[in-house]
A and B are shown apart, each in its own frame.
Chain A
Amino acid sequence: MAHFEKANSINEWLDQRIGINTIKRVMQTEYWIPKNINFLWAMGMVLAATFGLLLVSGIFLLMYYQPNTELAFDSVNYTIMTEVGYGWLWRHIHGVGASVVFLVIYIHMFTGIYYGSYKRGRELIWISGMLLFVLFSAEAFSGYMLPWGQMSYWAGMVITNLFSGGSLHADGLVEWIRGDYVPGQAFLGRFFMLHVLLMPLAIIGAIVFHFGTLRIPHVNNQDGEEIDFEESARLWKEGKRAESKVIPFSPVFLSKDVFVMGVYFILFFYLVFYHFEFAMDPVNFDPADGLKTPTHIYPEWYFLWSYEILRPFPTDPGLVAFGIAQVIFFLLPFLDRSPNVAPASRRGLFNFWFWALLIDMIVLTFMGKLPPEGIWSTIGLVAAITFFVLWIALPIITKLEKKL
């Protein structure tokens, strides 16, 4: 039996038993964040908060949703939307949240790319972040199946068809994934399970890992400056806060985060209450029908860029291109051959590369939504090829980059 003294406060009682003061120190009061940052550094906590909103709204939707092909559509569009008190609120938070979370993920990613926050010890932060992107994509896709509307059904059909591997005709694999020849009850049941349990569990695990990867290399700063965290921490603790280059994560940095979150949530709830329709495709308000295809089948906006990489090529090269586009971002820390950790604006050709990639992905996104006809097909093809040219060029231009 270990020796315990009588505790004089709840905090002391907890500290004796689970070392709560150590936990607070390691994760909050002595987890140091550089001062030289801007609002873009708040995106991580904005994402965590949005995930929290998705989780809470999802819990309430789960109580009335029916994972049954006969009942699913009505349980969402009739029961939850018209009968359940404030059911519409949870649905609109969930729908808007699922869309907006990707916008913030993209901002978060491109901030990392711009400031070089993926190399020199920060590789795992980037890789775990990309893992989260993939998991969020799977979560979004599986959730999109659940209302069992026309877009749910046909997106499910088209995306699972990708696993036939084009000319490989691995139809057995596709049928195995669906549990049926076409999306049906087995398909809805398993995607329901993935959406409400397996994917969220994996996401929570990956978020913990993502935070863990930050602790030793610390977050980057606006100049990519290498900071002596021990020296700066000493200054802060001695009370020389002006001289110190860092602040504690909590409560100092968190209070900045909370301000940015406040602004973000004004926008977020404006969308939830007044413009939720942007996250609700009208086609999905028709119940699933396997004998009637919608005229245009397109994914939600956040998948459009990779869909447009699939589309302009013939089936097999298209699938290969799509596959590469899904994983190429994982390799960013290794394809960038320059040792410089600095904002793109100080990195010569890399600056051009960064903006070219961003613009190219925006172009791909727009083209993915437009029907593949005439000039749009051509622009889509050029943008898809540009995407690959940029990634091939990356190791070369970063190798040539002058050391700062």
Chain B
Amino acid sequence: MSNRRDFMGMALGGFTALGGIGALYAMKRTWDPLPSVKAAGFTTIDLKDAQENVLVTEKWRGKPIFILKQSKEMVEKAKKSDELKRLIKIGDEYYMVAVGLCTHLGCIPGYDSGKQSFLCACHGGQYDSTAMVTKAPPPRGLDIPPFRIDGTKIVLGEEGPEYKKMLADGITMKV
């Protein structure tokens, strides 16, 4: 009698647990980003038309993306301060591509093309033309989004070899 009850109890408990786990998995999956949201997570930008020292703002995954084609003078400056590694080289041109959110508290910095630097109005953080931080409080330069170079275009959201190298060298962190 007791064995039979134990068996019934265990069978009920087992199936209930199984159903519970199944239900939890279904609930977790329902909260996952939708395939359409995931698919919209890639943005292709043609850098061909970008002009030197003119900031272009694009949108990727709902976040602003800064694109700044570097002038000769800016490249020289970047070479001197060893920040060339932050730039993306396509052909003979260098481009700064970064997520336009201050690494301090996520405000959007503004670009001053005269001073060739970014200023975040929230707490006074500053970045140079390679988006490296030059004045605290931001803890690091602007983050570089995952990218893959495709001719004169870059595909944001895909991880190309150039991006993987940047990650490995600790130039940016994953966003």
Interface residues of chain A, those whose CB is within 8 Å of chain B, are: 157-158, 161, 169, 171, 175-184, 186, 190, 290-293, 295-297, 315, 372-373
When C-beta atoms are compared, the residue in chain A nearest to B63 turns out to be A182
With A291-B57, A292-B108 known as contacts, the answer to whether A179 contacts B37 (CB < 8 A) is yes
Say yes or no: A181-B34 contact (C-beta < 8 A), given A171-B174, A296-B122, A297-B105. Answer: no
Contact B31 A190 (CB under 8 A): yes
Contacts known (A180-B62, A181-B62); A157 close to B106, Cβ less than 8 A: yes
Q: Which residues of B contact A186 (CB under 8 A)?
A: 33-34, 37
Tell me which residues across on chain B come within 8 A of A290, comparing CB atoms.
59, 62-64
Q: Of A180, A181, A297, which is in contact with the most chain B CB atoms at under 10 Å from its CB?
A: A181
CB distance from A205 to the nearest CB of B (A): 19
* Pairs A-B, 7 closest by C-beta atoms: A182-B62, A181-B61, A293-B107, A290-B62, A291-B64, A180-B37, A179-B33
Write out the residue numbers on chain A whose beta carbons fall within 8 Å of the beta carbon of B106: 157-158, 161, 293
Shortest Cβ gap from B40 to chain A (Å): 9
Q: A171 — which chain B residues lie within 8 A by C-beta? A: 174-175
B123 at the interface (CB under 8 A from A): yes
A184 touches B62 (CB 8 A): yes
List residues of chain B with CB within 8 A of the CB of A372.
Answer: 123
User: Which residues of A sit under 8 angstroms from B59, Cβ to Cβ?
Assistant: 290-291
* Interface contacts beyond A169-B174, A182-B63, A186-B33: sample of 16 additional A-B pairs, CB < 8 Å, sorted by A: A157-B106, A158-B105, A161-B106, A171-B175, A178-B33, A179-B31, A180-B62, A181-B33, A181-B61, A181-B63, A186-B34, A290-B59, A290-B62, A290-B64, A293-B107, A293-B108
Chain B residues, Cβ within 8 Å of A297: 105
B33 in contact with A293 (CB, 8 Å): no
- B32 in the interface (beta carbon within 8 A): yes
Partner among A179, A182, A373 whose Cβ is within 8 Å of the Cβ of B34: A179
- Total number of B residues with any Cβ neighbor in A under 8 Å: 23
B41 interface neighbour in A177, A179, A181, Cβ under 8 Å: A181
Residues of A within 8 A of B57 (CB): 291
Q: Identify the closest chain A residue to B124 (Cβ).
A: A373
Q: Is the interface of A mostly helix, strand, loop or mixed?
A: loop
Complex: how many Å from CA A180 to CA B31? 10
Interface residue ranges of B89-142 to A (CB < 8 Å): 105-108, 121-123, 139
In the complex, what distance in Å separates the CA atom of A158 from the CA atom of B61? 16
The answer to whether B173 has its CB under 8 Å from any CB of chain A is: yes
In whole angstroms, how far apart are the Cα atoms of A158 and B106 in the complex?
8
Of the A-B pairs whose beta carbons lie under 8 Å apart in the complex, a sample of 30, sorted by A's number, is A158-B105, A158-B106, A169-B174, A171-B174, A171-B175, A178-B33, A179-B31, A180-B62, A181-B33, A181-B41, A181-B61, A181-B62, A182-B61, A182-B62, A184-B62, A186-B34, A186-B37, A290-B59, A290-B62, A290-B64, A291-B57, A291-B59, A291-B64, A291-B108, A292-B108, A293-B108, A293-B122, A295-B122, A297-B105, A373-B123
Chain B CB within 10 Å, residue with most, of A158, A184, A293, A315:
A293
Q: Closest approach, in angstroms, between the C-beta of A153 and any C-beta of chain B?
A: 10
A175/B121 in contact, CB under 8 A: no
Distance of A182 Cα from B34 Cα, bound (Å): 13
Residues on A with C-beta less than 8 A from B108 are 291-293
Give B28's nearest chain A residue, CB to CB.
A176
Interface string of B162-175 (1 = CB under 8 A from A): 00000000000111
Bound CA–CA A251/B118 (angstroms): 68
* Distance between B105 CB and nearest chain A CB, rounded to angstroms: 7
Instruction: Check if B63 sits within 8 Å of A295, measured CB to CB.
Output: no
Q: Tell me, in angstroms, the Cα distance from A398 to B31 when the chains sit together.
A: 46
Q: Which residues from A are CB-within-8-Å of B31?
A: 176-177, 179, 190
Question: Which residue of the partner chain, among B32, B61, B62, B122, contacts A179 with CB atoms under 8 Å?
Answer: B32
A226–B34 Cα distance when bound, in Å, is: 59
Output the least CB separation between A367 and chain B (Å): 16
User: Which residues of chain A come closer than 8 Å to B122, judged between CB atoms?
Assistant: 293, 295-296
With both chains docked as a complex, state the minimum distance between the C-beta of A5 and any C-beta of chain B, in angstroms: 41
User: Whose C-beta in chain B lies nearest to the C-beta of A291?
Assistant: B64
Residues B62 and A176 in contact, CB atoms below 8 Å apart: no
- Report the separation of the CA atoms of residues A104 and B123 in the bound assembly, to the nearest whole angstrom: 35
Report A-chain residues with C-beta under 8 Å of the C-beta of B34: 179, 186
Chain A residue nearest in CB terms to B61: A181
- Residues on B with C-beta less than 8 A from A291 are 57, 59, 64, 108
Distance in Å: Cβ of A374 to nearest Cβ of chain B:
12
Contacts of B63 in A (CB 8 A): 181-182, 290
